[in-house]
Amino acid sequence: MRLKVLENGHRPLQKLILTLIKLGMGFRPGPILTMSYRRDLFGKHLAACVQEGMRQMKHWQKTDVEVMAAFVAQTNTCHYCLGDHRAIASVGLPEDVVKATLANWQTAPVGEPLRQTLGFLEKVTLRPTEVGPADVEPLRAAGLRDAAIEEALYVCFLFNVIGRLADAFDFEEPAEKSRRRLARVLYAQGYGIGSLPG
Amino acid sequence: MNQPTYFANVQKVVAALLHGQAQTTPALRQAVEAQAARLGGATRSASDIPADLAAYVDKVAQHAYKITDQDVEQLKAAGYSEDTIFEVTLSAALGAGLARLERGLAALRGGE
């Protein structure tokens, strides 16, 4: 981490929980360090958004939004978030499906609604100034309702924010074994621990 | 129209980060957010940010993966505290994310 305050500026209860997380997971995840530090300013509120966008959606499956998160991360060249969400998506989907989807959204072995959504999120992420109503048409043609597209844009928002924090603050890349262990926890239990109390 | 609840949660992020008390002024955080959001095609009023922060803000907004240790060390050498860099980075990232949300929703509603 490039800021020492994100390593050791937490409150006593947070430090205790972070120690326990390191014992259990093998590392202290950058998103938790960041969303816990001075949490009233930002992290507590963003963590609520993450839990909502990634686990309380009405129109997508958990695996769908995890694939979207990994895809947006990859589009932004954010290795940390790509690694995390590729691993989480792979808890619920065959790894070769996740890999093929991230390799080429146009030939992704997923349903047409998710495939078209990935194409839309790529443009929104990389070329937001060029996005217009015509870009939504393929999604509607695939049967998506506006509410489903809004949920996908919410995921896109989240990972355009978090990915920038991961890269700017230089989140520590965990060992693969630790990453997979954390992925299983996040897949099963969601993002409630994103911002630690204290 | 029924607003999804997540708009309320995003507004809580905006209210806390851009209007709450912190080490930097709300005006600076709002200016940083606005600069990053404008780079993503969002509509914001023009605002000034210090020249020695501007390049960093643009980098967070446009290609954060290119940020290096040296970028952050330069800000520290220029006198910015870690808490200030933290707040500026959060504000820039939020602006970039909000721009994409706003542009996407505008397309969905039929606007440019």
Question: Which of A37, A44, A167 lies nearest to residue B64, judging by beta carbons?
Answer: A167
Contact A120 B104 (CB under 8 A): yes
Indicate whether B2 pLDDT > 70: no
The 3-state DSSP class for residue A112 equals: helix
Contact A125 B100 (CB under 8 A): yes
Sign of dihedral through CA atoms A190, A192, A23, A158? Answer: positive
Q: Give the residue among A75, A41, A123 at the shortest CA–CA distance from B94.
A: A41
pLDDT at B47: 80
pLDDT at A128: 98
Q: In which band, very low, low, confident or very high, does the pLDDT at B3 lie, cut at 50, 70 and 90? A: low
pLDDT at B1: 40
Distance from CA of A86 to the nearest CA of B (A): 18
B63-74: average pLDDT? 98
pLDDT at A116: 98
Q: Give the residue among B26, B19, B97, B86 at the shortest CA–CA distance from B56.
A: B86
Over residues A32-41, the pLDDT tens digits come to 999 999 999 9
Indicate whether A10 pLDDT > 90: yes
Over residues A50-104, the pLDDT tens digits come to 999 999 999 999 999 999 999 999 999 999 999 999 999 999 999 999 999 999 9
Residue in chain A closest to B24 (alpha carbons) equals A41
Over residues A17-29, the pLDDT tens digits come to 999 999 999 999 9
Supply angle C-alpha A167, A169, A174, rounded to 5.
Answer: 75
Contact B6 A49 (CB under 8 A): yes
pTM of the complete model beyond 0.90: yes
Residues 32-91 of B with CB under 8 A from A: 40-42, 60-61, 63-65, 67, 69, 72, 82-83, 85-87, 89-90
The two structure tokens encoding residue A133: 């109503």
- Residues of chain A with Cβ-Cβ distance to B89 below 8 Å are 164-165, 168-169
ipTM exceeds 0.95, yes or no: yes
Q: Give the residue among B14, B19, B32, B38 at the shortest CA–CA distance from B84.
A: B32
The torsion of the CA quartet A176, A169, A54, B40, rounded to 10 degrees, works out to -130
The two structure tokens encoding residue A84: 């995390």
pLDDT at A146: 96
Percent residues over pLDDT 70 in chain A: 100
Residue in chain A closest to B14 (alpha carbons) equals A42
Residues A65-81: b if buried by 16+ CB within 10 A, e if exposed: bbbbbbbbbbbbebbbb
Distance from CA of B112 to the nearest CA of A (A): 5
The torsion of the CA quartet B15, B17, B18, B19, rounded to 10 degrees, works out to 60
Q: Give the residue among B41, B43, B2 at the shortest CA–CA distance from A147.
A: B2
CA dist list (Å): A41 to A32, A51, A104, B84: 14, 18, 38, 12
CA A25 to chain centre: 18
